[in-house]
């Protein structure tokens, strides 16, 4: 994360750790704290939500939101059919509201991708 080569951290909650919360949070907080210190957004993956996977993880998002990081919405668009608008995925906007995360029109440049590349990021209330 500290190389400066990343635009955001994809799938920070992909780890499907089933052990004690204190162990999980102790290690995942290090990721969140570093992301906040570096102003590096964390991804909330829309595809995982739309497909009923274990991510985005309530445990991770709840803990991360306490630090007020920036978030980005990712869609895992490995194929065009996976691209979805967040407001069209049932329950996703309610999920964001539950943790005080607001969609905005802020644009974040993608590093090393040319001047026309950008993504929208989210902010925590």
Q: What is the pLDDT of residues 31-85, one digit of tens each?
A: 999 999 999 999 998 888 778 888 899 999 999 999 999 888 887 777 777 777 7
Tell me the pLDDT band of 98, cut-offs 50, 70 and 90: very high
pLDDT at 109 over 60: no
Query: What are the tokens at 64?
Result: 């991360």
Q: Are the CB atoms for 47 and 75 separated by under 8 Å? A: yes
Query: What are the tokens at 75?
Result: 């869609």
Q: How far apart are CA 7 and CA 39, in angstroms?
A: 10
């Amino acid at each position: 994360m500290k190389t400066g080569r990343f635009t955001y951290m994809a799938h920070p909650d992909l780890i499907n750790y089933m052990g004690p919360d204190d162990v999980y949070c102790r290690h995942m907080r290090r990721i969140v704290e570093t992301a906040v210190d570096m102003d590096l957004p964390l991804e909330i993956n829309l595809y995982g939500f739309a497909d009923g996977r274990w991510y985005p993880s309530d445990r991770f998002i709840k803990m991360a939101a306490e630090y007020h990081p920036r978030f980005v919405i990712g869609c895992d668009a490995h194929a065009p059919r996976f691209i979805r608008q967040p407001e069209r995925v049932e329950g996703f906007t309610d999920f964001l509201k539950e943790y005080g995360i607001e969609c905005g029109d802020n644009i974040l440049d993608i590093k090393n991708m040319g001047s026309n590349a950008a993504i929208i990021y989210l902010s925590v209330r």
